[in-house]
């Protein structure tokens, strides 16, 4: 069982930046996909960004050009750099890791964008 620990959330003003990190309890090897989801109050969970082991990256239209997903294999950690944040980005953010033997989720971390 792979455990994912998220960090980096918090309160930021509109226009600000945050970087979320998701650290896996073991090495990310073999076929893999990393992703970030978010769920705002009263809304369904939505995919924000994904990165495959082959380097294919996808972003939700609402974050394209503002968010960047990346993987640091040496640290078993993937990141979501979020720039130019707006109140609409307020949500609980979840990381997900797909490996050949299973799908694993982080516990969720709150991001609040407010003045």
Distances (CA, A) of 39 to 21, 27, 54, 91, 92: 17, 27, 27, 5, 5
The pLDDT confidence band at residue 30, using thresholds 50, 70 and 90, is confident
Query: What's the mean pLDDT when you consider all of the chain?
Result: 96
Q: What is the mean pLDDT of residues 53-78?
A: 95
pLDDT band, residue 96 (cuts 50/70/90): very high
- Specify burial of residue 109 (Cβ count, 10 A radius: 0-12, 13-18, 19+): buried
101: part of which helix (H) or strand (E)? none
Task: Give per-residue pLDDT as tens, 15-26.
Answer: 999 999 999 999
Residue 84's DSSP bridge partners are none
Please determine, for residue 101, whether its predicted confidence score (pLDDT) is greater than 90.
no
The whole-number pLDDT of residue 34 equals 97
- Give the tens place of pLDDT for each residue, 62-74: 999 999 999 999 9
């Amino acid at each position: 069982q792979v455990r994912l620990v998220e960090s980096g959330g918090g309160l930021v003003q509109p226009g600000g930046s945050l970087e979320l990190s998701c650290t896996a309890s073991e090495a990310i090897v073999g076929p893999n996909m990393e992703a970030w989801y978010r769920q705002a109050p009263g809304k369904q969970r939505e995919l924000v960004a994904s990165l495959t082991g082959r380097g294919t990256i996808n972003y939700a239209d609402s974050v394209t050009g503002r968010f960047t997903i990346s993987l640091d294999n040496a640290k078993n950690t993937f990141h979501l750099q979020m720039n130019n944040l707006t109140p609409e980005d307020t949500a609980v953010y979840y990381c997900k890791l797909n490996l050949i033997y299973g799908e694993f989720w982080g516990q969720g971390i709150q991001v609040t964008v407010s003045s």
